[in-house]
Amino acid sequence: EVQLVQSGAEVKKPGESLKISCKGSGYSFTNYWIGWVRQMPGKGLEWMGIIYPGDSKTRYSPSLQGQVTISADKSITTAYLQWNSLRASDTAMYYCARPYPCGGDCYYFDYWGQGTLVTVSS
């Protein structure tokens, strides 16, 4: 059974760093992209970026490039989303999800993590 299990909720202050995780199991972790989706309070879903754990190739949303870093450790089948300096506007629920190929450049998120709530407040 495919599972994506995320790390727990975090409460941080502005300017602090943070790394949240998403552990994949039940499938070949290095053969599928894994992505991150942001949902700010009361708002919709925002595609952030993806990583291919097999070679660590990444793709970011232009609006978020430079603000976050996506990485993966294939030895422990875990993907990460990292901030060096958090802002209050980073307060959101963050989901990891697996993009599954449906032909050509077609990908859909077939499995999702349970979400990690990040709260940034002074």
Partner 1 sequence: DIQMTQSPSSLSASVGDRVTITCRASQSISYYLHWYQQRPGKAPKLLIYAASSLQSGVPSRFSGSGSGTDFTLTISSLQPEDFATYYCQQSYSTPPYTFGQGTKLEIK
Residue 29 carries which side chain, given as an amino acid letter?
F
Q: Which of 7, 52, 112, 119 is close enough to bind partner 1 by CB under 8 A?
A: 112
Spatial contact of 114 and 45, defined as CB atoms under 8 Å apart = no
d(CA 86, CA 56): 24
* Distance, CA of 16 to CA of 76 (rounded, Å): 26
Sketch the per residue contact string, 30 through 69, with partner 1: x for CB under 8 A, - otherwise. -------x------xxxx-xx--------xxxxx------
The reply to whether 10 sits near partner 1 by the rule CB under 8 A is no
Is position 114 an interface residue for partner 1 (rule: CB under 8 A)? yes
Residue 17 or residue 63: which is nearer to partner 1 going by CB?
63
In the complex, the smallest distance separating the C-beta of residue 100 from partner 1, rounded to whole angstroms, is 8
**Distance (Å, whole) CA 33 – CA 18:** 22
